């Protein structure tokens, strides 16, 4: 019963520490899906948890959203010329493809007219079309019939090479030849999104000659997500220093609270590099960069830059509609079906932003305007007290029964 009663102050504390924010989503010019970039201010206010976000229209209807990482890759296609086709009846059909620029390639895509035939094939390479060198032997291609098109495209892989000519030999011993229409090189290029540089933080640099270390203390007004860091170092001209990112934390151990230091990431500062590092993402208001100097002079650090990987949500917006983004740390994850509705996540969408983000005072919130007995806090206190009272009488009843027996 004591444990149950002790939950009351915890509940009171959790509700009193709840934070709410509100911002305006800038108007869009067209119907459809839009990407809303979550600025560092929004991520800080939401404690880096998008479960706390909600979007409402002007009628206070909830608008579904889904986490969106952005387009991850671009695809490109380069046609390769088929310079010859030849066939020996009942033996093989051969095509020779020109790689005139001697590109390093390890696959080609062939466009093949529909057929129910299965084919074994060999691939070889040459620089003069006289001497051929084996790449692939006795492989099979199947499934050459597409019900929706009169052709299929199949990717053929082989060891990386830069031969100027590639020859495909399709074995015709037990079937008629297949019709090769085109050859191309399909490539996917990953897209690295540029990080957002963080502002509005202070840094304090201290050098401890006894420990032979330099410590840079970074402090933000509110906790921020950090994904990258860089240093502008003016001197000395040559150096190689081990460095690490540390955060002071607390934890409960054996019913007592203890302080400890967590090592987030380690890296080396090098005079021959740009000294920009991607680090394990962390969320902190203050952290320390510790640099080992050994017996060397301390580094003169002109500037420390901090970066955050961009994060967005995707939602369906209408023009001439007013949308509001709200943040409440007491909300749980919403259950939307938008993520499973067939959206193409590897596509670019129009971007809109959030403006006028402000923290709502507790007194201004609707919950605060209600009478205390109408709030969820009052309900939870009643539940805990009811359980405690029932438990008290149940324990007493059990004791009385035991005495009688």
**pLDDT tens digits, 46-87:** 999 999 999 999 999 999 999 987 765 567 789 999 999 999
pLDDT at res. 367: 46
Residues 1-9 have a mean pLDDT of 48
| Judgement on whether residues 90 and 186 belong to the same structural domain of the protein | yes
Could you report the per-residue pLDDT of 203-262, keeping only the tens digit for each? 999 999 999 999 999 999 999 999 999 999 999 999 999 999 999 999 888 878 889 999
- Write the DSSP assignment of 293-306 as a string of letters: -TTSPPPEEEEEEE
Q: With respect to residue 387, please indicate whether it lies within any of the assigned structural domains.
A: no
Distance CA 220, CA 203 (A): 9
Nearest partner of 349 among 384, 314, 395, judged by Cα: 314
Distance CA 244, CA 288 (A): 8
Distance CA 368, CA 9 (A): 18
pLDDT at res. 364: 46
Q: With respect to residue 396, please indicate whether it lies within any of the assigned structural domains.
A: no
| Judgement on whether residues 169 and 120 belong to the same structural domain of the protein | yes
pLDDT at 94 over 90: yes
In this predicted model, which residue has the larger pLDDT, 298 or 400? Answer: 298
| Judgement on whether residues 154 and 97 belong to the same structural domain of the protein | yes
Of 170, 190, 210, which residue constitutes the final position of a domain?
Answer: 190
Could you report the per-residue pLDDT of 261-296, keeping only the tens digit for each? 999 999 999 999 999 999 999 999 999 999 999 999
| Judgement on whether residues 302 and 315 belong to the same structural domain of the protein | no
Could you report the per-residue pLDDT of 344-374, keeping only the tens digit for each? 887 889 999 999 999 987 644 444 445 666 6
Q: With respect to residue 402, please indicate whether it lies within any of the assigned structural domains.
A: no
pLDDT at 7 over 60: no
Q: Which domain holds residue 239?
A: 196-308
pLDDT at 5 over 60: no
Tokens encoding 281: 């993402």
Could you report the per-residue pLDDT of 149-194, keeping only the tens digit for each? 999 999 999 999 999 999 999 999 888 999 999 999 988 765 567 8
Share of residues in the chain with pLDDT > 90 (%): 69
Q: With respect to residue 403, please indicate whether it lies within any of the assigned structural domains.
A: no
pLDDT at res. 17: 53
pLDDT at res. 352: 93
| Judgement on whether residues 44 and 84 belong to the same structural domain of the protein | no
Q: With respect to residue 385, please indicate whether it lies within any of the assigned structural domains.
A: no
The mean pLDDT of the chain is: 88
Q: At what angle do helices 376-404 and 2-16 cross, to 10 degrees?
A: 180
Helices (H), 315-361: none
pLDDT at res. 218: 97
């Amino acid at each position: 019963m004591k444990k149950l009663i002790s939950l009351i102050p915890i509940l009171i504390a959790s509700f009193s520490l709840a934070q709410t924010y509100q911002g305006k989503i800038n108007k869009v010019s067209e119907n459809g899906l839009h990407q809303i970039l979550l600025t560092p201010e929004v991520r800080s206010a939401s404690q880096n948890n998008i479960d706390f976000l909600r979007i409402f229209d002007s009628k206070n209807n909830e608008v579904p959203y889904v986490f969106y990482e952005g387009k991850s890759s671009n695809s490109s296609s380069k046609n390769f010329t088929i310079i010859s086709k030849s066939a020996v009846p009942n033996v093989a059909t051969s095509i020779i493809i020109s790689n005139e620029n001697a590109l390093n390639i390890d696959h080609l895509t062939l466009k093949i007219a529909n057929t129910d035939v299965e084919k074994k094939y060999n691939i070889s390479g040459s620089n003069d079309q006289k001497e051929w060198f084996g790449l692939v032997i006795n492989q099979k291609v199947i499934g050459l019939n597409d019900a929706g098109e009169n052709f299929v495209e199949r990717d053929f892989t082989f060891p990386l090479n830069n031969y100027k000519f590639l020859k495909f030999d399709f074995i015709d011993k037990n079937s008629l030849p297949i019709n090769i229409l085109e050859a191309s090189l399909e490539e996917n290029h990953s897209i690295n999104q540029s990080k957002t540089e963080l502002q509005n933080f202070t840094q304090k640099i201290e050098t401890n000659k006894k420990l032979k270390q330099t410590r840079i203390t970074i402090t933000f007004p509110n906790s921020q997500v950090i994904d990258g860091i860089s240093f502008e170092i003016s001197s000395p001209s040559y150096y190689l220093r081990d460095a690490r990112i540390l955060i002071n934390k607390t934890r409960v151990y054996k019913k007592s609270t203890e302080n400890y230091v967590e090592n987030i990431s380690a890296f080396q500062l090098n005079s021959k590099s740009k000294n920009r590092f991607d680090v394990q993402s962390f969320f902190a208001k203050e952290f320390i960069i510790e640099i080992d100097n050994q017996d060397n002079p301390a580094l003169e650090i002109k500037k420390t830059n901090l970066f955050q990987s961009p994060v967005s949500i995707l939602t369906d917006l209408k023009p001439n509609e007013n949308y509001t983004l709200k943040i409440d740390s007491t909300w749980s994850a919403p259950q939307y079906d938008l993520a499973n509705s067939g959206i193409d996540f590897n596509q670019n969408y129009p971007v809109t932003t959030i403006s006028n983000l402000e923290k709502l005072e507790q007194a201004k919130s609707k919950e605060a305007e209600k009478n205390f007995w109408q709030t969820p806090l009052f309900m939870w206190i009643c539940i805990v007290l009811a359980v405690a009272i029932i438990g008290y009488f149940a324990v007493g009843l059990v004791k009385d029964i035991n005495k009688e027996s």
